[in-house]
Amino acid sequence: MALRDADAEEEFNIENGRLVQTQRLKITEYYEKKEKQIEQQKKIQMSNLMNQARLKVLRARDDLITDLLNEVKQRLSKVVKDTTRYQVPLDGLVLQGLDQKQDFSLVNAAVQKAIPMYKIATKNDVDVQTDQESYLPEDLVGGVEIHNGDHKIKVFNTLERRLDLIDQQMMPEVQGALFGANANRRFWTKPSGGGAHPRLSCCDVEASDI
The enclosing domain of 99 has a CATH number of 3.30.2320.30
- Give mean pLDDT, residues 179-184: 63
Whether 29 is in a domain gets the answer yes
Contact 145, 159 (CB under 8 A): no
Give domain status of residue 163, yes or no.
Answer: no
**Do 73 and 91 lie in a common domain?**
no
pLDDT of residue 101 exceeding 70, the answer is no
Let me know whether 106 and 89 are in one domain.
yes
Q: Based on the domain organization, do 145 and 44 belong to the same domain? A: no
Query: Does residue 57 sit in the same domain as residue 114?
Result: no
Overall pTM surpassing 0.75 (yes/no): no
Residue 120 lies in a domain: yes
If DSSP states are collapsed to H, E and C, what string results for 31-70?
HHHHHHHHHHHHHHHHHHHHHHHHHHHHHHHHHHHHHHHH
Question: CB of 53 within 8 A of CB of 107?
Answer: no
| Same-domain status, 113 and 130 | yes
Q: Are residues 48 and 150 in the same domain?
A: no
Domain count across the chain: 2
pLDDT at 197 exceeding the cut of 50: no
Do 89 and 140 share a structural domain?
yes
The rounded mean pLDDT for the chain is 70
Q: Does 194 fall in a domain?
A: no
**Which has more pLDDT, 124 or 92?**
124
Q: Looking at per-residue confidence, does 5 or 56 come out higher? A: 56
Does some domain include residue 128?
yes
56 and 110 belong to one structural domain: no
pLDDT surpasses 80 at 47: yes
Please state the rounded mean pLDDT for residues 114-120. 76
Rounded Cα–Cα distance for residues 140 and 124 (Å)? 32
Residue 126 lies in a domain: yes
Q: In whole angstroms, give the CA distance from residue 76 to residue 191.
A: 24
Whats the size of the chain, residue-wise? 210
* 165 domain residue, yes or no: no
Tell me which DSSP letter residue 139 carries: T
Range of the domain at 145: 83-158
Q: Are residues 94 and 116 in the same domain?
A: yes
* C-alpha to C-alpha distances, 125 to 88, 98, 114, 115, 119, nearest whole angstrom: 23, 21, 12, 8, 6
* 68 shares a domain with 12: yes
Q: Are 190 and 201 in contact (CB under 8 A)?
A: yes
Domain assignment present for 97:
yes
